[in-house]
A and B are shown apart, each in its own frame.
Chain A
Amino acid sequence: MSPTAAPDFLPALPEIALACGAMVLLLVGVFRGERSARLVSWLSVLVLIGILVLAARLGLDRRIGFYGMFVTDAFALFMKTLVLIGSAVAIVMAMRFNEEHQIARFEFPVLILLATTGMMVMVSANDLITLYLGLELQSLALYVVASFDRDSVRSSEAGLKYFVLGALSSGMLLYGASMVYGFAGTTSFTALAKMLTGESAASPGLIIGMVFISVGLAFKVSAVPFHMWVPDVYEGAPTPVTAFFAVAPKMAAIALFMRFMIEPFGGMLAEWRQVIVFLSIASMILGSVAAIAQTSIKRLMAYSSIGHIGYALIGLAVATPAGIRGVLVYMAIYLFMNVGTFAVILCMKQQGKMLEGINDLAGLSRSQPGLALALAIFMFAMAGIPPTAGFFSKLYIFLAAIDAHLNALAVIGVVTSVVGAFYYLRIVKVMYFDDPAGAFDRPIAVELKAVLVVTAIVTLFFFLLPDPLAGSAEAAAASLFAR
C-alpha cells in the first residue's frame, strides 16, 4: 500500500462511528440545552449498543488498517465488548444519581463516549503512536469526569490528583516510547515483533524503554507500586464515576498491557516477566492487606481493584494462551462483580444523602434482604468462594500458573486471597450479623434494580454455563498469539 492511497478505514469503523456519535450528541446537548441530560444519556447508551453490534459485525478476523497502526482481532473484540458494556452500564447507573445531585449535564455521557473511543483505540493499538493517542484521549476525558461534581472539593481534588499523577505516567510512557523508537528505529508493533523474534539479543536501551512503557501502563491498570492515586480518586469522584473507573478503563488498560507485552515484546518474555511478577505480587499483597483497615466502602473497593489486578497480572506473567485466557475470563467476571457492587453502593442513601461507610450497611439483611443477598453474592465472588463466578475466574488464572510452573506465584496468590477474604467477609458480617443501623431509601431506581438483578444472577449462576464465556476468551487469547 503506497502512502498516498487512502488508509484502510474499515477496521476502525466502530471507533470512527463512536467519535462521530459523541460529536452529534454534543450538538444535540448544545441545542436542547441543560435539560437534555436524560435524553443524551439514553441516546449514548443506544450509540454504545450500536457500536457493539457494529464491532461484532466486523468479525473475529485479524484486520490491519491505517498503514498498520490499527488492528482488530478476536482479542480486540472481546475486550471492546467489555469496555462498551462497562461504559453503557456506567451511564445508566449515573442518570438518577446526577439528577439528585444537581450535576445532570449532557456533557457527562458525551465525555464517557469520548473516553470509550480512547479505550477502544487502546485495545486496537498496533503502534506506539496509536497507543499513546488512545491512552491520552481516554485519560483527558477521565480527568474531567473525575471532577465532574465541580462544586465539591473532594471531586475537584480527585480530578486534580488524577490529572497530575496521570500526566506523570504519560510522561514516563512517552519517554519509554521514545527510547524504544531510538533503539529499534520503529514504533510499529509488527516491526518490533519481527525484530525481537530473531537471535539478536535485546539491547539494554530497548529493555529500559519497555520498562518505562510498562510503568505507564501499570499506572493505568493501578498495579502496585503505581497505585497511589486509586484510593483517593475512587473516594473523591462521584460514585457512578467511580463505578466507571473501576471497570471500563481497567479493561482497556489491561488489554493494551497484554497486547503490548505479548505482540511486540513477546520475544523478550524473560526480561519482562520478572517485572510483571513483581507487579502482580506487590498488588496482591497490598490489595489484600491495606483494605483491611478501610472504613469507607469506596476506598475498600479501590484496594480490592488493586488486588484483582494483581491476580489478573498472574495470567499475563504466564504469557501463554492459557494465561491470557485466564486474564480475559477474569476481567469479564470482574466486570460483573464490580458493576453489581457499585450498584449496591449507589443504593446506599438515607433521606437522599449518600452514605459510604461500611458500618452504614449494618443489618441490611433485615431491612433490605434482597440488596443484602446481592451484595453478599458479590463479596463471596470477589473472595473467590465457589460456586460463585469469582471462583472460576481465579481457577482459570491458577490453572495457567501451575501449568507454567509459576508455583510460587500461585501459592502467594491463594494465600493473599485468603487474607483478602477477610475484608470481603467483614462486609457480609456487617450486613448479616450486626443490628440494623437504619434502612436505606426506597424504592430503588428501576435501572439500578435491573443492573443488580442481572449482575447477581450472572455472578451466582455462572457455573451453570461457563463455556460460552470461556470459549470466546480462548479464541480471543489464541488470536493474540497468531502472528
Chain B
Amino acid sequence: MSHWPLLSLVTFLPLVGAGFIMTTRGDAEIVARNARNIALSTSVIVFLLSIALWIDFDPATAAFQFVETARWIRIGGFDINYHMGIDGISLFFVLLSTLLTVICVAASWISVHAQVKEYMIAFLVLETLMVGMFCALDFILFYVFFEGVLIPMFLIIGIWGHSNRVYAAFKFFLYTLLGSVLMLLAILAVYFQTGSTDIEVALNHAFPFALQKWLFLAFFASFAVKVPMWPVHTWLPDAHVEAPTAGSVILAGVLLKMGGYGFVRFSLPMFPLAAHYFTPLMFTLSAVAVIYTSLVALAQTNMKKLIAYSSVAHMGFVTMGIFAVTSEAVQGAVIQMLSHGLVSGALFLCVGVLYDRMHSYDIARYGGLVERMPAYAFVFMAFTLASVGLPGTSGFVGEFLILLGTFRVSTLECFLAATAMFLGAAYMLYLYRRVIFGTITRDDLRNILDLSPREKALFAPLLILVLWMGIYPSSFLGPIRASVDHLVQQVSAAQAVVGPRASAD
C-alpha cells in the first residue's frame, strides 16, 4: 500500500473529476445533474482514500510519511522538487479538507442552481489546492498551492455569493495576496540561506537571529491575514456574509486553518528565536482578538457575521496556544483548529438551512423555530454548545489544552482567554435564544419545514466527529502527539541555547 503515491492521488484526483465535469455537454438540466453526481462521487472517493492515510499512518514517529519526491524545476543552482509528505500535524488537516469538500458538494445540491458545472469544478479544484498545500514539502510547491487557493475562492464568492459579493471577493483576494507576496520574498530569502527550497532542510536550519526577525514578520504577514488575527481580520466577516453557504464552510473550515498550520509548520520551527522575541506581541494580538471580537459578535444582527466574528475569536485561541510553545498548548491548538473546522462549518450549514428557506440572515427575522423545527433545534444546539466548549464536545478538548498549556507560560494571558470563553458562551447562547426560542411572530415561519433527510445526513457525520473528538480525543491526539512533541522540543532547545541572550536583546 505504501508504494502507492497515495498523497498525489488524494491531491490530484479531484482534478480528474473536474476534467470529467468539464466534458459534460447537453441540456442544462442534465449537465447540472451529471456535474453534481461526478463531484459527489469524486469527493467521496478522495475522502475514502484519505482515510487510508489515517489507517496507514504511523503515530510513533515525528518524521514525514508517505513521502514522494520527483524532479520538477532544475536550473542552475535553483532546485525545486515535487516533494510531498505528511506528519501528525498535517494528517488531520488533509482529512478535514476532504471531508468538508464532500459536505460542501452535498450541501450545494439544491441551493446552487446557476452554473452548477462551474461551481462543482471550482470546488474540486479548490480541494486539490487545499490538500496539496497541507502536503507540500517544498516551499515553491507550497506557495503555488497556498496562493492558488485564492482563484477558486474568489470565483466562488464572486459568482455564487450574495448582493455585495464583488466587494467581498476583491477584499478577500487583495488582503490575502498582499500577505502572501511578502511571504514569497521571505521564502526566496530562506532559499539563499539554506541553498534549497526544501521545507525539511529549512526546518532544520539555524537562521541568524537578526534575519529570523525579518523572516518571521514576512511569514507572519501572510499567515496573520489568513488566520485572521486582529487587526487584519476585517476581510473575514465580509467574505463570510457574501459567500454562498458551502463557500463559508470551506472558508471557515479549511482556509483559516492554513494560517494556523503555517504558524505551526514554519514560523515556530524555523524561527524559534524570533517567535520567542515576538511572543508578547502574539499574545497581545491574540488576547485582543478573543475579547474584542467576542464583544463585536455579541452586537451582531446578522447570523453569518456573528459566526464569522466567533471564528476570529476561536482562531485567537489557536494563535495563543501556538505561541505558548508547550506541548499541551500546541496539541490543543491543532485540536482546536480541527474542532473549529467541524463546528464552524456545521454552524454555517445551520445558518444555510435557514437561508435556503427564508433567504435572510437577519437574526430578528427568526424566533420560535423550535416549535416547527425540533430536529433543527437539536442540531443547532449541539453545535452551539460545541462552539462554546461544553465538556464532551471537541471544542472543550482544544480550549482546555490551550488554557492548560498557556497557564504554564502566562497566567494573565490564560485569564484573559478564560474571560473570552465566558463571552463566547454569551454570544452563542444569545444567538440561539433569539433564533430558536421565543414564540413565532411571523406568519411565514409557521410553515417552515424541518430538516430534510439530505440535510440530516449532512449534519450526522459532523456531529459524530465532534462528539468523538470530545469524548475520546486520544484517537486524534495519538497521531498528533509525536510530531508536536518533536516540534516543541526542537523549538525549546533552540530557545534554551541562546535564550538568555535573545531575551536580553
Q: Which residue numbers of A lie inside 8 Å of B, CB to CB?
A: 321-322, 325, 365-366, 369, 380, 385-387, 391, 395, 398-399, 402-403, 407, 410-411, 414-415, 417-418, 421-422, 425, 428-429, 432-433, 463, 466-467, 470-471, 474
Contact = CB atoms under 8 A, between A and B. Distances in A.
A434 B78 CA distance: 43
Interface in B150-209: 150-151, 154-155, 158-159, 165-166, 169-170, 173-174, 177-178, 181-182, 184-185, 188-189, 191-192
A114 to B, nearest CB: 36
B177 A421 contact: yes
Given A417-B181, A418-B178, A432-B155, A425 B173 contact: yes
Give the 4 A-B CB pairs with smallest separation, nearest first.
A414-B181, A386-B144, A402-B188, A470-B75
Question: A interface, by DSSP: helix, strand, loop or mixed?
Answer: helix
Interface string B241-273: 000000000000000000000000000000000
Contacts of A380: 151
Contacts of B148: 385-387
B355 interface: no
Contacts of B143: 386
Nearest to B181: A414
Contacts of A471: 75
Contacts of A433: 158-159, 165-166, 169
B110 interface: no
Contacts of B188: 398-399, 402-403, 410
Contacts of B182: 411, 414
Given A398-B185, A433-B169, A418 B174 contact: yes
A415 B181 contact: yes
B139 to A, nearest CB: 11
A11 B75 CA distance: 29
Contacts of B189: 402
Contact of A467 (B73, B140, B173): B73
A402 B177 contact: no
B58 interface: no
22 contacts: A321-B76, A322-B76, A325-B75, A365-B159, A385-B147, A386-B147, A386-B148, A391-B147, A398-B185, A402-B185, A410-B188, A411-B182, A411-B185, A414-B181, A417-B181, A418-B181, A421-B173, A425-B154, A429-B158, A432-B155, A467-B74, A467-B75
Interface string B444-483: 0000000000000000000000000000000000000000
Contact of B185 (A365, A414, A432): A414
Contacts of B74: 467
Given A414-B181, A417-B181, A463 B166 contact: no
A75 B195 CA distance: 27
B159 to A, nearest CB: 5
Question: B interface, by DSSP: helix, strand, loop or mixed?
Answer: helix
A410 B166 contact: no
Contact of B76 (A365, A395, A418, A474): A474
Nearest to B157: A433
B159 A415 contact: no
Nearest to B214: A407
B168 to A, nearest CB: 11
Contacts of A391: 144, 147
A418 B177 contact: yes
B151 A422 contact: no
A224 to B, nearest CB: 21
* Best-buried of B75, B143, B182 by chain A (most CB within 10 Å): B75
B144 A463 contact: yes
Interface of B: 73-76, 78, 115, 118, 140, 143-145, 147-148, 150-151, 154-155, 158-159, 165-166, 169-170, 173-174, 177-178, 181-182, 184-185, 188-189, 191-192
Given A433-B158, A433-B169, A467-B73, A402 B144 contact: no
B72 to A, nearest CB: 8
A318 B478 CA distance: 50
A359 to B, nearest CB: 14
Contacts of B147: 385-386, 391
A276 to B, nearest CB: 20
A364 B31 CA distance: 19
A403 B118 CA distance: 41
Given A421-B174, A433-B169, A410 B185 contact: yes
A380 B144 CA distance: 13
Nearest to B188: A402
Contacts of A470: 73, 75
Contacts of A403: 188, 192
Given A385-B147, A387-B148, A414 B76 contact: no
* Best-buried of A380, A399, A422 by chain B (most CB within 10 Å): A399
A385 B185 CA distance: 14
Given A410-B185, A415-B181, A433-B158, 14 more contacts: A385-B148, A385-B177, A387-B148, A398-B188, A410-B188, A411-B182, A415-B178, A418-B177, A418-B181, A425-B154, A425-B173, A428-B154, A470-B73, A474-B76
A307 B94 CA distance: 38
B21 to A, nearest CB: 13
A474 B74 CA distance: 11
Nearest to B132: A387
Contacts of B78: 399
A414 B144 CA distance: 16
Contacts of B140: 395
Nearest to A369: B118
* Best-buried of A402, A422, A463 by chain B (most CB within 10 Å): A402
Contacts of B165: 433
Contacts of B75: 325, 467, 470-471, 474
A474 B75 CA distance: 8
Contact of B170 (A399, A425, A432): A425
B433 to A, nearest CB: 37
Nearest to B177: A418
A399 B177 CA distance: 18
A418 B185 CA distance: 14
Contacts of A385: 147-148, 150-151, 177
Contacts of A474: 75-76
Contacts of A322: 76
Contacts of B177: 385, 418, 421
* Best-buried of B115, B159, B188 by chain A (most CB within 10 Å): B188
Nearest to B182: A414
B173 A398 contact: no
B185 A422 contact: no
A280 B470 CA distance: 56
* Best-buried of A380, A418, A467 by chain B (most CB within 10 Å): A418
A428 B156 CA distance: 12
A414 B159 CA distance: 27
Nearest to A380: B151
* Best-buried of B145, B181, B188 by chain A (most CB within 10 Å): B181
Contacts of B185: 398, 402, 407, 410-411, 414
